[in-house]
Structure 1
Amino acid sequence: MVVESDGLLDESSLAAAPLPQEAVRVRLDKLRKDDLADLVFLANNKTVAANLATMPYPFTVHDGRAMIAKADLHHINSAIFAIRLKSTGRLIGIARYAVVEAGGPVHVGYWLGEPFWGQGLATEAVHALVDHAFTYNDIEELQGSCRVTNPASRRVLVKSGFQYRDQAMIRSVGAGGSVPIERYTLERKVWKSLKGWGQGQ
């Protein structure tokens, strides 16, 4: 679901097509075993978890190992990426797209570690994620969502071309119950028309 990817959206994941996927300051790349310490440090944050659907809190070493293992699995219309700073190669978050329920739409999800909030890095990562999803898959529409209390994630989706669809409720493990969300969609034809979006950030 929500905000900057639950990192676990469903039981499948991948790294489907050519990597890395470059943006201006970030790169989407394979999640590696040597990312474990940074992954656990950044993901073990109640505020991050409360804005996602299935991210546990506390986020343990076991959770980190499970996420890294899922990154090696291959499924159609699905990918999980480490978001890295291009300048250092350091892991700063996770981005992914996946089918959450059989026969359902492809959802995007993303999260950044708290030290990297408010710098426009999530927007760059989602642009790269969307480009990857539409370029290397036969997907006609992507969906994204954010908690209604998360204006930063809403801005990321809107700046990435997503359009408001409706509101709903979803269970958030990290929040400990159901939370209201806003749902957004981005069609392939709209994405094509916005391909020069790097100028509009």
Structure 2
Amino acid sequence: MRPVTIIGPVITTARLRLRPWRPEDAADALEIYGSAEIARWLTPALERMEGLDQMRAVLSRWITDPPSLPGRPAGRWAIEEIETARLAGSGQILPLPPSGVDLELGYQLKPSMWGRGLATEAGHALAHHAFAHGEEEVFAVVRPHNSRGARAARRIGMEWVGETDKYYDLRLQVFRYRKADLDISALDPRPVER
């Protein structure tokens, strides 16, 4: 497992920096959220972005009105490769509907970044963040035919706990990661010099 460093809103691993979104990220974000291959797994939580203007508007909302759960680690991050400073994807810790009690760990990568273990690394980083901020468990919800999403959840170390229609009014596979299942000693509280 790679060490994770958390400094304010930035989460850093050996290869990735999860940082707040910026308005200039819109074109890269559109490569993720404008992709039919990705968006089909995200609806109804997020519809496919149809163009740069729509993506800019969504990013603006994410930046100016971040998810707020008092005392809980909800948020949205741009996932950036440290070596190249290229945007690789998006990560989230968000309350699951309808009650918002359960937290969903989510991540989407640009298709050009698939197959390099970045989703696993980002998922570990987000789990570390949640657990370092007092959460005892996080969930991933995956549509039954989304084999890529299910594999990524398992690679992170999440346990399949069954299917439900509790979230989003859809039949979904549920994966859970408990704090006790993660080697929290890999969390490095010291700043990373880059």
Q: Could you state the TM-score of these two structures normalised by the residue count of structure 2? A: 0.78
Q: 1: distance between equivalents of 2:31 and 2:57?
A: 13
1:105 equivalent in alignment to 2:95: no
Q: 1: distance between equivalents of 2:118 and 2:92?
A: 15
Does the residue aligned with 1:128 lie in a helix, a strand or coil? helix
For residues 153-190 of structure 1, give each alpha carbon's deviation from its aligned partner in whole angstroms, at most 9, with x where no partner exists.
Answer: 21221122211111134888xxxxx7643101112222
* 8 A Cα contact 1:46 1:58, kept in partner: no
1:38 equivalent in alignment to 2:28: yes
For residues 136-164 of structure 1, give each alpha carbon's deviation from its aligned partner in whole angstroms, at most 9, with x where no partner exists.
Answer: x2212111121222222212211222111
Q: Could you say which residue in structure 2 is the equivalent of 1:5? A: none
Aligned residues: 175
The code of the aligned residue for 1:98 comes to: L
Q: Could you say which residue in structure 2 is the equivalent of 1:25? A: 15
Q: How large is the Cα RMSD of the aligned pairs?
A: 2.6
1:146 equivalent in alignment to 2:138: no
1:163 equivalent in alignment to 2:159: yes
* 8 A Cα contact 1:84 1:92, kept in partner: yes
Q: 1: distance between equivalents of 2:24 and 2:124?
A: 26
Q: 2: distance between equivalents of 1:69 and 1:123?
A: 27
Does the residue aligned with 2:77 lie in a helix, a strand or coil? strand
Q: 2: distance between equivalents of 1:59 and 1:169?
A: 28
The code of the aligned residue for 2:32 comes to: L
Q: Could you say which residue in structure 1 is the equivalent of 2:3? A: none
1:83 equivalent in alignment to 2:79: yes
* 8 A Cα contact 1:31 1:82, kept in partner: yes
Q: Mind listing any 5+ residue stretches in structure 1 that lack a counterpart?
A: 1-15, 173-177
1:183 equivalent in alignment to 2:174: yes
After TM superposition, the structure 1 = structure 2 runs for residues 63-142 of structure 1, keeping only pairs within 5 Å, are 63-72=55-64, 73=66, 75-76=68-69, 77=72, 78-101=74-97, 102-135=99-132, 137-142=133-138
Q: 1: distance between equivalents of 2:40 and 2:167?
A: 10
Does the residue aligned with 1:88 lie in a helix, a strand or coil? coil
Q: 1:64 offset after TM fit, Å?
A: 3.6
* 8 A Cα contact 1:81 1:95, kept in partner: yes
Higher relative contact order (CA 8 A, sep 6+): 1
Extract structure 1 runs of 4+ deviating beyond 3 A: 169-172
Identity among equivalent pairs (%): 22
Q: Mind listing any 5+ residue stretches in structure 2 that lack a counterpart?
A: 1-5, 188-194
Does the residue aligned with 1:189 lie in a helix, a strand or coil? helix
Distance change (3 Å), C-alpha of 1:119 and 1:170: farther
Q: 1: distance between equivalents of 2:167 and 2:38?
A: 15
Q: 1: distance between equivalents of 2:148 and 2:25?
A: 26
